[in-house]
Amino acid sequence: MVHASIITIGDELLIGQVVDTNSAWMARELNLAGIWVKRRLAVGDVWDNIWNALERESEEADIILITGGLGPTADDITKPLLCEYFGAKLVVDPGALANVKHIFERVLNRPMIERNLKQAEVPDNCEVIQNKRGTAPGMWFEKKGKIYVSMPGVPFEMKGMMTEAVIPGLKKHFTLPFIAHKTLLVAGIGESFLAEHISTFESAIPPNIKLAYLPNYGMVRLRLTSTSQEKEEAVIELDQQFRQLKNLVAEWMVADEDLSLQEVIGKILTEKKLTLSTAESCTGGYIAHLITSVPGSSRYFNGSVVSYSNDIKENILSVQRQTLAEHGAVSEETVREMAKGVLNAMGTDYAIATSGIMGPDGGSIEKPAGTVWVAVGNNREIIAQKFYFRFDRQRNIELASTFGLNLLRKFILTASQGQSLN
């Protein structure tokens, strides 16, 4: 097995100012290529810390991938450090220089200063990876049988290099095993109960196949991973195990592929040529955000009304003033009228509506913080369900959105079969 380590560089990662999404994305891509990521490490803009990380990771990994610290400012120390680490000197790379000049003169249409020209400097013993999406080139080094690749920390630029140059280069350099994944998504059962339910299956899995539990906001992904030198044999064995797993969790299965809940709903709506709208109060447009994060969602998503105030509920969604006065904004009656109102306003086949108290304040004994009503429906039927979440505001919003979307998914499937969830 070929092992890799990922080092992300930047003080902003350590103080929480920027979330490290680079290493997660890189790990997925490496794994798909048959390279096992042994460790992911974040270090600050400190010379000794970066140096020590390179030394330590090279002892255990065959590949060390580095992102960050390649900018033109004084705190970007990765390039001079790599020069010293690999016993090199900085030289101007003609291809990188032409790229920097092109970006400033043709793309940005602004003058270039001396500091920008520094971007074209690279250690003289590296293989330069041209940056087709930015100014800082990548650098490929080989030392004592190990591969080191340094890339910009900007995710868009790093992904371009990884996809177009780094992954293909690693595949040529190493003989890699075949790695295959199969993932299914379940909802409505807790992780511990799920583990107990499939314990006999799990204990009988062949040693070259691993089962992983990936819980997230009321749902659990079950992922089977097979590693083998023989692709055909691995695929057949993995398919057999996956079929057994699907049968065991059929009652709670949302999807038998690696899709998000919003992707599953989008797929259903697209296949049935149906449309959707949302009326959100407590979730503040988060459900609409999830839906529109899926490419092609304009085919089935018409729009959303974020009705945070009662005035909007009345004037835009046609919720009756008497309903709000008698039952309050957080009630079954209100979300039902919100769903009906957005169906009429948007002219869609289906709708989802939410109203609740996300906390930490605003609750009462009767309706404590975390109380959420969700309604889903079409022009023939609207159903509503009450949820209670006990976490912080952001997690309550995310959970309400997930549970609401799953209720919508089940409603659409049952409605299309002429059935009812009631």
CATH assignment of the domain containing 189:
3.30.70.2860
pTM of the shown model: 0.82
Give the whole-angstrom CA distance, residue 6 versus residue 170.
Answer: 14
- Residues with Cβ within 8 Å of 335's Cβ and at least 6 positions away in sequence, in order, are 353, 354, 355, 373, 374, 375, 384
Structure tokens at 91: 């030289």
**pLDDT for 153 beyond 80:** yes
Whether 385 and 374 have beta carbons less than 8 Å apart is answered as yes
User: Both 167 and 184 in a single domain?
Assistant: no
Residue 319: the pLDDT is 98
Residue 233: the pLDDT is 86
Residue 419: the pLDDT is 76
Give the whole-angstrom CA distance, residue 268 versus residue 315.
Answer: 32
Average the pLDDT over 334-338 and give the result.
98
**pLDDT for 304 beyond 80:** yes
pLDDT band per the 50, 70, 90 thresholds, residue 94: very high
Which CATH number belongs to the domain containing residue 75 in this structure?
3.40.980.10
User: Both 58 and 154 in a single domain?
Assistant: yes
Taking residue 375's Cβ as centre, other Cβ atoms within 10 Å add up to 28
- Residues with Cβ within 8 Å of 292's Cβ and at least 6 positions away in sequence, in order, are 301
Q: How many domains does the chain fold into? A: 3
Q: What is the mean pLDDT of the chain?
A: 94
Structure tokens at 48: 């000794």
User: Both 49 and 116 in a single domain?
Assistant: yes
Residues found in the chain: 422
Is 422 inside any structural domain?
no
For residue 354, the enclosing domain spans 261-416
The end-to-end CA distance of the chain, in Å, is 53
Average the pLDDT over 73-99 and give the result.
92
pLDDT band per the 50, 70, 90 thresholds, residue 310: very high
Is 329 inside any structural domain?
yes
pLDDT band per the 50, 70, 90 thresholds, residue 73: confident
Average the pLDDT over 143-152 and give the result.
96
Is 421 inside any structural domain?
no
Is 190 inside any structural domain?
yes
User: Both 335 and 403 in a single domain?
Assistant: yes
User: Both 16 and 53 in a single domain?
Assistant: yes
User: Both 235 and 272 in a single domain?
Assistant: no
User: Both 246 and 318 in a single domain?
Assistant: no
| Strands annotated E in 100-231 | 121-123, 127-129, 138-143, 146-151, 178-187, 209-216, 219-228
Give the whole-angstrom CA distance, residue 393 versus residue 222.
Answer: 27
User: Both 398 and 377 in a single domain?
Assistant: yes
Is 369 inside any structural domain?
yes
Q: Which residues pair with 219 in a beta bridge?
A: 187, 216
Structure tokens at 357: 């108290």
b/e sequence 384-397, b meaning 16+ C-beta within 10 Å:
beebebeeebeebb
**pLDDT for 112 beyond 80:** no
Residue 417: the pLDDT is 79
Give the whole-angstrom CA distance, residue 355 versus residue 317.
Answer: 13
Q: Give the domain-ending residue among 211, 230, 255.
A: 255
∠ Cα 296 297 298 (to 5°): 90
- Of 346, 369, 347, the C-alpha closest to 356 is 369
Give the whole-angstrom CA distance, residue 274 versus residue 261.
Answer: 17
Average the pLDDT over 380-395 and give the result.
96
Q: Tell me: the pLDDT tens digits for 215-261?
A: 988 899 999 999 888 888 889 999 999 999 999 999 999 999 999 99
Q: Give the domain-ending residue among 140, 173, 206.
A: 173
- Residues with Cβ within 8 Å of 131's Cβ and at least 6 positions away in sequence, in order, are 96, 99, 137, 138, 152, 157, 160, 161
User: Both 153 and 269 in a single domain?
Assistant: no
User: Both 85 and 203 in a single domain?
Assistant: no
User: Both 112 and 199 in a single domain?
Assistant: no
146-151 and 63-67: which strand pairing?
parallel
Q: What is the share, in percent, of the chain residues with pLDDT greater than 90? A: 86
Q: Give the domain-ending residue among 255, 272, 305.
A: 255
Which CATH number belongs to the domain containing residue 350 in this structure?
3.90.950.20
Whether 317 and 303 have beta carbons less than 8 Å apart is answered as no
**pLDDT for 115 beyond 90:** no
User: Both 202 and 110 in a single domain?
Assistant: no
Whether 376 and 351 have beta carbons less than 8 Å apart is answered as yes
- Of 146, 143, 147, 93, the C-alpha closest to 120 is 93
Distance of CA 346 to the CA centre of its chain: 29
Structure tokens at 190: 């807790």
Q: Is 93 left (phi over 0), alpha (psi -120 to 50) or beta?
A: beta
Q: Dihedrals φ, ψ of 405, to 5°?
A: -65, -35
Give the whole-angstrom CA distance, residue 110 versus residue 104.
Answer: 6
Is 197 inside any structural domain?
yes
Whether 158 and 167 have beta carbons less than 8 Å apart is answered as no
Give the whole-angstrom CA distance, residue 400 versus residue 287.
Answer: 9
